Amino acid sequence: MQTPVRVADAAAIREAAGLLRTGALVAFPTETVYGLGALALDVRAVGRIFAAKGRPPDNPLIVHVSHLDALADVAAHIPEVARRLGQRFWPGPLTLVLPRGPAVPDIVTAGLSTVAVRIPAHPVALELIRAVGAPVAAPSANRSGRPSPTRAEHVADDLAQRVAMILDGGPTEVGIESTVLDVTGERPVLLRCGAVTRTDLEIFLGPGSVDELNIHQDRDASLRSPGLRHRHYAPAAQVQLCAPGRGHAVAAEALARGEIVVVLARGEPGLTELILPERLSKGSVTSVQMPHAPIDYARELFGCLRALDRLGAGVMVIEEVPREGLGRPIMDRLERAAEGSG
């Protein structure tokens, strides 16, 4: 039986909430990417998430709640800085890692003593969580290792028949996953960058107040942020990064090896939509124009990688973007896609 994809109107959200309450899986839109939801405090329901995604059991999940008071259901206590950050950035694309409360099962946190929580800024997600009346665990709704889904179709491509319902709320606004910030220590530590940038956090908390996990230097980095251990965001094609303007030179080498090659480069300032080709050819390099502004680039990125996979790309040569503002999380995701390649 095909998984129902339903326009996320009030009736569909009510039904979805009913399904979640029985322990089933429902995919739903958030402002970042689509999530694959299950009752966070129900071990069997959460087990279904790991099975559907093919997710390694050592990679913990984010718990989604609809209001600040619900933090008490999942966190052992709420550090003052977490309360302030929540008031400032929620609902929004910021996940806070907090001391884990006793109600949260091991399977959600991969046995860690912390739990990741956020309030998503999407009316469908919020209404769904309210209707369920309990915290909802939700990783991105892709098969493990694939780019996160930014449209309901992407979820269907990866998880059809593995979920009870997909709520279609249209394309997501941000397009990349939330910022993850650990606030269990003396100083906040950025574990994953996202649309709430380090600068945003430091404007609010004070200059120099946020540490960053360096996966290359920090020996315990992958213990603190298990997501870093795993291959991520990778399309089926091989991804090669290069400096702006160098795309076609790099592509020529791959073309000579007989690959189907595309070059992704930013279009002119003012270009806000992605310009995709209808088909790719084996004998020549195809250009893909990415939106110019980081905010538009981020929104289109994962959908673009998926579309090019579908068209049969063998090699994606991607020109780097400046690491400022949203450019940082964009480059982070591109680097992981490139690491997972080849």
- Shortest approach of Mg ion to residue 46 CB, angstroms? 15
Nearer of residues 121 and 317 to ligand TXA, judged by Cβ: 121
Site residues (vs Mg ion, CB under 5 A): 140
Cβ distance 101 to 74 under 8 Å? yes
State which residue, 121 or 239, has the beta carbon closest to ligand TXA.
121
> Residue 140 or residue 197: which is nearer to ligand TXA going by CB?
140
**Partner whose binding site includes residue 197, from ligand TXA, Mg ion, none (CB under 5 to 8 Å by kind):** none
Q: Which is nearer to ligand TXA, 120 or 267 (CB)?
A: 120
Q: How far apart are CA 29 and CA 167, in angstroms?
A: 7
Closest CA to 267 of 290, 245, 294: 290
The residues pairing with 181 across neighbouring beta strands, listed in sequence order, are 96, 190
Query: DSSP assignment of 78-128, as one string?
Result: --HHHHHHHHHH-SSSEEEEEEBPTTS-HHHHTT-SEEEEE----HHHHHH
Could you tell me the smallest distance in angstroms from the CB atom of residue 199 to ligand TXA? 19
Q: How far is the CB of 265 from ligand TXA (least distance, A)?
A: 27
Cβ contact 38:20 at 8 Å? yes
- Which is closer to ligand TXA, CB of 91 or CB of 139? 139
**What are the strands of the beta sheet with 286-290, ordered from one edge?**
238-242, 315-319, 261-266, 286-290
37 or 291, CB closer to ligand TXA?
37
- Distance between start and end Cα atoms, the chain: 35
Nearest distance in Å: CB 140, Mg ion: 3
* Least distance between ligand TXA and beta carbon 115 (Å): 5
Quick one: 221 or 293, whose CB is closer to ligand TXA? 221
Positions touching ligand TXA (CB under 6 A) are 30, 32-33, 35, 59-62, 95, 97, 109, 112, 114-116, 120, 138-140, 177-178, 180, 191-192, 224-227
Closest residue to bound ligand TXA by CB: 227
Residue 59 interacts, among ligand TXA, Mg ion, none and using kind-specific CB cut-offs from 5 to 8 Å, with: ligand TXA
From the list ligand TXA, Mg ion, none, partner contacted by residue 137 (C-beta under 5 to 8 A by kind)? none
The closest residue (CB) to Mg ion is: 140
Provide the minimum distance between the beta carbon of 51 and ligand TXA in the complex, in angstroms, as a whole number. Answer: 15
**What does 60 bind: ligand TXA, Mg ion, none (CB cut-off 5 to 8 Å by kind)?**
ligand TXA
How far CA 176 is from CA of 32, 103, 217, 223, in Å, comes to 5, 29, 25, 23
Question: How far from the centroid of its chain's Cα atoms is residue 36's Cα?
Answer: 11
**Gap between the Cα atoms of 51 and 47, Å rounded:** 6
Structure tokens at 113: 């003593």
Residue 59 CB, nearest approach to ligand TXA (Å) = 5
What stretch of H or E contains 136? strand 136-137
SS3 assignment, position 41: coil
**193 and 50 Cβ atoms separated by less than 8 Å:** no
- CA 308 from chain center: how many Å? 19
Give the residue with the Cβ less far from ligand TXA, 106 or 273.
Answer: 106
Residue 87 in tokens: 């008031």
Q: How far is the CB of 58 from Mg ion (least distance, A)?
A: 14
